[in-house]
Structure 1
């Protein structure tokens, strides 16, 4: 009968646990690496609270967005400079990613002209999909406060070649489910739609 050395028996007890660790450890490391990258965007600032009116004439509260991922931009229906491009890119984004859980909010910076009826007409003129997309209007001073102080964005009435115009931000702000702004995306960036989708994936569950 062959006598197995005692030290071999002791070593054999450790083979299985070590083998298990060698399998599990890489999986755990990969999991944490993915999640660290997934939520790597900085927390910029808390999105403001607001109560406005949507394109259907219904009161819209920012509280409705708690627990959701959303993005907000600023526009007005008379705008002939950057606004059509903004809406075109958001329209393309929704078409490219129809099942995405990101809601869009577009706030007019010309509420005196852009009432709910005008917003509804604009949506039809631009052939925009209203699903998970709210167009908001309200009191002029309240909107200025929301845009300038709340979202820390520019808004100013100017004369452009003798014509009335409203200068406003040409970017979109991405907000997480905790109501914190996590990214700012310029509409004139290349591959805007793909970049926005990637940023959304970074902060989403």
Structure 2
């Protein structure tokens, strides 16, 4: 190659690299735009109660979450794809001071491999507060039912949607957002702040409890 032609080839390569970078940015923008309309905010019925086992070995009972705002997601520890992005976004929200009263509940869809020590190690990787970010497991068929029948989320072995399910203080599902999406994570934060601002459900009086029993 003649030295006089070298500047032209260098300019061409720079232009080619710049065009490729612009194309990749455009692709990412399209993905984010498509996710932006995917969130669902609604006033759903109260969740059916369920029980799993937390990484500490202690039971996690959804009934114990009454009066709290919490978020449920599905994942598995060896996931090489979306799960790290999902949990990185949860980590960011988990660390926000204004969301300190939100409890995050991550449920594995690979319980055979995600043993309690594995879940503990995974939680430590994200510096998850053991009081505010719980990692839960159980029998797979039961987890599948929790996902499909209770959360209305399709669940298969090592298969799940990346949605974060928001449950308010009264135990009602309030919305679902793709927690791998930055734009939807912002909407998730807004909904959580809205739920946190709401009063907890009034405790039933002794007379109401007696009437319900009778």
TM-score (norm 2): 0.68
Q: Is the 8 A contact 1:69 1:177 kept in 2?
A: yes
Kindly indicate whether the alpha-carbon contact (under 8 Å) linking 2:69 and 2:103 is maintained by their aligned counterparts in 1: yes
Alignment of 1:1-205 (within 5 A): 42-97=42-97, 100-157=100-157, 166-204=158-196, 205=198
Q: In terms of mean alpha carbon deviation, does 146-155 or 191-200 score higher?
A: 191-200
For structure 2, which runs of at least 5 residues remain unmatched after alignment?
A: 1-40, 199-214
Match of 1:16 in 2: none
* Conservation of the 8 A alpha-carbon contact between 1:47 and 1:179: yes
Greater strand percent: which structure? 1
Q: Does the aligned pair in 1 maintain the 2:105–2:136 contact within 8 Å? A: yes
Give the count of matched residue pairs. Answer: 157
CA distance in 2, matches of 1:177, 1:45: 12
Q: TM-score w.r.t. structure 1 length?
A: 0.71
1:129 & 1:59 partners in 2: Cα distance? 17
Distance between the aligned counterparts of 2:114 and 2:62, measured in 1? 20
CA 1:118 to 1:104, structure 2 compared with 1: closer, same or farther past 3 Å? same
Residue 45 and residue 99 in structure 1: after superposition, are their counterparts in 2 closer, same or farther (change >3 A)?
A: closer
Query: In the TM superposition, what is the alpha-carbon distance from 1:178 to its structure 2 partner?
Result: 1.1
TM-align CA RMSD: 1.7
Quote how far apart the aligned CAs of 1:99 are: 5.2
Question: 1:4 corresponds to which residue?
Answer: none
